[in-house]
Structure 1
């Protein structure tokens, strides 16, 4: 199985966090599985291999083909496949997908939504083009040309929501929305309404994902105890920490860390979280485009 991430060109670095290419050309007798934990970032996924399946929580699985919008997830989801799979994923910065599509992101939360349902008609043409372009750099250049066309005439200036997402990220998710509203002299309900529209999350859900991503990054970089995670994450006690991890991943902190040792794919996805990608120079190798 091949997986790699690439930085966007300079023009798109305020919009896009990474491009990810995932390829499995094997034909398997049993289902292959990839568990994805909340990373705080929306995306566009283009499938130019065989169809695969997606399920989240108690919802029935969906067969996924062509192009889909990946709403921000506040809980884990799983993809499964047996046949050869090829994916090109654009991982956006928090408000990047909203700026591109100008769609209500609240309607896309915790789901993969077909392009067709959003009135986007290019799905099959894009996937067909991605399937024949030989080099990953060619695929990226093609998608950036497509995004440039979509952005034409759209206003992508910084919004209040963008400023608040930056503040929450700077404070590692350990801040209340009431205190931010007071600090910025803005009505709390105004913040919540615009968060739901532009991110698809409540401010608290976003802050919880940031805090989880911060702790995830600490666990990736060093050996750290639950006591230290509890202190650095500003939790009441270890029980509070464990509940936070179980809500985000379905696992305890210890099991979550051990799971990455068993699955290189899980480790790859863990490294692509919002704190690691947006708040600092990444501590892992990506390809420069």
Structure 2
């Protein structure tokens, strides 16, 4: 398995893009063939060869796309078919970035996977998807510079307003501030911040807070082996009222109880590893 993750070097791009990443599964790689993506409030633009087919399943619904595509913010765990070798580049946009890019109504695209023509989006100077993924591992710095250049032009059309600015102030404090206190902390009414947040992200603050806490917990669990898992301690660490509350939360979020998750370890963080930002 080959992978990397890099932050944009352009400040104008980094305002909207958290990182670029690359993942390649080679023919002799073994492991879970159907890894799961946990719920994510951020959107990912996937750059893939035109002949590659990508499948995403959730709650009895199957979405199939070919080549480049968006994975929009999703509340449901997505199961992917990674039984065949593949190479993909990902562009992870920051939470709320899609609003500034004036994409369709954000609530309507939640949990959706949709094809995209990247040359139409960024211009022909970017090159074909095949060229980008073929050189991605060996020439990652050059690729990231190319993406910076293409995104700098694309993002120059991004629009900011009072709602996006307010949400940019909410996000850094959302994980460690009680939601009911955020309005007071930012000197705004609770109704104002709730409406702005949903308008910009398509999600409620509670939904995003739960996703951030879930990601932190999964990163923590990834470092532990089965013998080290003490679910009562984990429930206390992540401020669940008790262990049954944690069980219900994981069941609703990733479709598995803690015991089943510990046995299967089928989320992408377990299958492909928590590769660090360089």
What's the TM-score once normalised by structure 1's chain length?
0.76
- Structure 1 distance, partners of 2:197, 2:70, is 18
- Alpha-carbon deviations, 1:122-166, whole Å to 9, x = none? 699642442454623333222222111111243458611121121
Inter-CA distance 63–122: structure 2 relative to 1 (3 Å threshold): farther
Partner of 1:252: 257
- Structure 2 distance, partners of 1:74, 1:227, is 26
Inter-CA distance 163–270: structure 2 relative to 1 (3 Å threshold): farther
Q: How many aligned positions are there? A: 263
Of 161, 169, 178, which aligns to 1:163? 169
Structure 2 counterparts to residues 189-268 of structure 1, below 5 A: 189-221=191-223, 223-260=228-265, 265-267=268-270
- Structure 1 distance, partners of 2:129, 2:196, is 32
What is the Cα-based RMSD across aligned positions, in Å?
A: 3.2
In the alignment, structure 1 segments of 5+ residues that lack a partner are 272-283
Inter-CA distance 148–121: structure 2 relative to 1 (3 Å threshold): closer
- Alpha-carbon deviations, 1:47-101, whole Å to 9, x = none? 2152121222222x222122222211122001114544221111122233444x2
Matched, 1:152 2:168: no
Inter-CA distance 206–200: structure 2 relative to 1 (3 Å threshold): same
In the alignment, structure 2 segments of 5+ residues that lack a partner are none
Inter-CA distance 187–19: structure 2 relative to 1 (3 Å threshold): same
Inter-CA distance 122–57: structure 2 relative to 1 (3 Å threshold): farther
- Structure 1 distance, partners of 2:133, 2:219, is 34
What's the TM-score once normalised by structure 2's chain length?
0.79
- Structure 2 distance, partners of 1:255, 1:146, is 43
Q: Is the 8 A contact 1:27 1:82 kept in 2?
A: no
- Structure 1 distance, partners of 2:76, 2:83, is 24
- Structure 1 distance, partners of 2:128, 2:108, is 24
Inter-CA distance 27–80: structure 2 relative to 1 (3 Å threshold): farther
Q: Is the 8 A contact 2:231 2:243 kept in 1?
A: yes
Q: Is the 8 A contact 2:2 2:25 kept in 1?
A: yes
Partner of 1:276: none
Partner of 1:279: none
Structure 2 counterparts to residues 106-185 of structure 1, below 5 A: 106-115=107-116, 120=121, 126-131=128-133, 133=135, 135-155=139-159, 159-171=165-177, 175-176=178-179, 178-185=180-187
Q: Is the 8 A contact 1:259 1:266 kept in 2?
A: no
DSSP-derived class of the 1:69 partner: strand
- Structure 1 distance, partners of 2:123, 2:254, is 34
Matched, 1:8 2:8: yes
